[in-house]
A and B are shown apart, each in its own frame.
Chain A
Amino acid sequence: MRSLTLEGASFWYPATESPALREVSLEVAQGEVVALVGALGAGASTLLLVAADLAPRVTGGRLTGSVARRDRSGIVLPTPWTQASGMAFTVWDEVAFGPANLGWPTHEIARQVDRALEQLELVPLASRDPATLSGGELQRVIIASILAMDPGLVLFDEPAAELDAEAARALWRLIRLQAKEGKAVLLATSALDALPDVADRVVWLEDGAVRAVGTPELLADVAACDAGLGTSVASVWRASGLPGPYPLTVAHALRRWR
């Protein structure tokens, strides 16, 4: 079942000549993780804002083409500290902020908040003041806050940027879990090495348009490596001059080597 469908979507930010998105067509199904990759400025963040119904509604600008959404969406921005409410005494209250705004009954709010705190391993921090958290801790709190609103379509913009290795690994596991629970996940990330284990499909954006779509194997293509979008293993294999196809991960490389 498709959660999000874009057909020929083009978007211009206010007072800009050139479009940030050009004729993008994309589908994300429930239970699927789709990753957006591309250079900075390629349009991934804009695409997520359009999917979240924030562009053009809140950002202004012009959208052509069609966008169809089946579920409520939740988005984690690349600057999570801006998403903090600024008026919660504790992490628990901060995570409850979203569900409370949706007008849910208190027992439902408590259920969703407790679940989100557990999923993000935030239970030890539940009574801390959000203003005292580190960047990585706050990013996890914001992710918990968005998940607590139980969106059907979850959008992430560089969610691992501030996280250390352990927290990042936990995040990728969590994202797979969201998909397993039936949510549709669309994620923009530059952590290419993680994608073979996280993403079902990869969409390569270039200058606002879709350049290629495929499984994570896409990240071992010659074109991707040359554009700086190959996994580390594939890129170094290409640089060594060895013949393709290039291995995607260390495990693939080991199999080839033997």
Chain B
Amino acid sequence: MIPHPPLRLDGVSFAYGTVPALAGLSFSIAPGERAALLGRNGAGKSTVVRLVAGLERPDDGTVWVGDWDTRECAAERLARRVGSVFQHADQQLFASTVREDVRFGPRALGVGEEEVKRRTDDALDDLGLTPHAAHHPYDLPPALRKLAALAGALALEPALLVLDEPTIGLDRALCARVSSALLERSAAGVALLVITHDLTFAAETLQRGLVLDRGSLACDEPLGGLLGDATRLEPLGLVPPGVAALSAALDLPGRPVRAADVARELARVARGRPAP
């Protein structure tokens, strides 16, 4: 294990007043790794995001972002290493144009003007927002506002991205845009932690499944094995996504969970050719 992974939770416990949310949570995420944080509503997922972003401090244990202890850092300082996007992000845009809003993060980081422009342009481009860059955020439909909020976090070019339900309200085309933008960042070494209940999106984009159940980690394993297994998912309140369920039901070799892989195996098996 590398000495200072982009994110490490060490025995983290947290309660909202008297209501416990997390108990003894420990895991770490390596550079370039794409982890899904799954679980029922109320299992504690959004709390993890708030702790990682530095908006809350753990009651017990430590949240390490690189070599920074979140207890010692204000959220605005953590923004140098973590890009966070919360639920209902579409209500949090605050500049007069999309471009101004996305620029905000890199400018606040204090990088030079050239660099700010590059990061902004890249983020807008990755999410297909360049045609809307000059529009007022509240003139755009909510789905595009959500993408603009994500672009704002991408423009920070942080080592870690933490996203809370990035695909609610997006149609398949927009989900695909988010998926490819995240895959590209991950290939460049950015670590991803994505809360989602869209298991289809998780299957396509993410690799590792961290499942929370009542505040503790019930499961930490590759999504490939987990998503097709209804008997494992059911007690955790999860249901295999359509493609993974098909793969398991037909017992396709390798039990793939991504649509392209399943399509390929289907074709292969149907034509009677042995799988490699």
Direct A/B contact, Cβ within 8 angstroms: yes
- The answer, yes or no, to whether B109 is at the interface (CB within 8 Å) is no
Query: How far, in angstroms, from A136 to B262 measured CA to CA in the complex?
Result: 32
Cβ-defined contact, B246 with A39, below 8 A: no
Contacts of B260 in A (CB 8 A): 239
State how many residues of chain A have any CB contact under 8 Å with chain B: 34
Please, what's the 1-or-0 string for A229-258, where 1 marks a CB less than 8 Å from any CB in chain B?
Answer: 001110111011110000000100110010
Q: Known A135-B87, A253-B246; judge A164-B197 contact (CB<8 A).
A: yes
- Give 9 closest A-B pairs by Cβ, nearest first: A232-B242, A239-B263, A136-B41, A240-B266, A240-B263, A165-B239, A228-B172, A240-B267, A164-B41
Cβ-defined contact, A253 with B250, below 8 A: yes
Within 8 A of B (CB), among A199-237: 228, 231-233, 235-237
Residue of B at shortest CB range from A257?
B250
- The answer, yes or no, to whether A190 is at the interface (CB within 8 Å) is yes
Contacts of A162 in B (CB 8 A): 41, 168
Contacts of B241 in A (CB 8 A): 193, 232
Which residues of B come within 8 Å of A, CB atoms? 39-42, 46, 87, 141, 143, 168-174, 197, 199-200, 237-239, 241-243, 245-246, 249-250, 259-260, 262-264, 266-267, 270
Residue of B at shortest CB range from A136?
B41
Write the nearest CB–CB distance from B14 to chain A, whole angstroms: 16
* Interface contacts beyond A161-B169, A253-B250: sample of 7 additional A-B pairs, CB < 8 Å, sorted by A: A40-B170, A166-B237, A231-B242, A237-B266, A240-B263, A253-B246, A253-B249
Query: How far, in angstroms, from A162 to B169 measured CA to CA in the complex?
Result: 9
Query: How far, in angstroms, from A239 to B243 measured CA to CA in the complex?
Result: 12
- The answer, yes or no, to whether A84 is at the interface (CB within 8 Å) is no
Write the nearest CB–CB distance from A222 to chain B, whole angstroms: 15
- The answer, yes or no, to whether A134 is at the interface (CB within 8 Å) is yes
Write the nearest CB–CB distance from B230 to chain A, whole angstroms: 11
Contacts of A169 in B (CB 8 A): 239
Cβ-defined contact, B242 with A193, below 8 A: yes
Query: How far, in angstroms, from A165 to B249 measured CA to CA in the complex?
Result: 19
Cβ-defined contact, A239 with B249, below 8 A: no
Write the nearest CB–CB distance from A243 to chain B, whole angstroms: 10
Query: How far, in angstroms, from A253 to B263 measured CA to CA in the complex?
Result: 13
Cβ-defined contact, A233 with B246, below 8 A: yes
Cβ-defined contact, B41 with A232, below 8 A: no
Contacts of B200 in A (CB 8 A): 232
Contacts of A67 in B (CB 8 A): none
Contacts of A163 in B (CB 8 A): 41, 197
Cβ-defined contact, B267 with A242, below 8 A: yes
Contacts of B42 in A (CB 8 A): 134, 136-137
Contacts of B243 in A (CB 8 A): 232-233, 236
Contacts of A233 in B (CB 8 A): 242-243, 246
Task: Report 21 cross-chain contacts, Cβ distance below 8 Å, ordered by A residue.
Answer: A39-B173, A137-B41, A161-B168, A162-B41, A164-B238, A165-B197, A165-B238, A228-B173, A231-B242, A232-B242, A232-B246, A232-B259, A233-B243, A235-B259, A236-B243, A236-B246, A236-B259, A240-B266, A241-B267, A253-B250, A254-B249
Contacts of B173 in A (CB 8 A): 39, 228
Q: Which of B141, B171, B262 contacts A236 (CB 8 A)?
A: B262
- The answer, yes or no, to whether A63 is at the interface (CB within 8 Å) is no
Within 8 A of B (CB), among A24-65: 39-41
Q: Which of A166, A253, A254 contacts B40 (CB 8 A)?
A: A166
- The answer, yes or no, to whether A100 is at the interface (CB within 8 Å) is no
Query: How far, in angstroms, from A239 to B199 measured CA to CA in the complex?
Result: 19
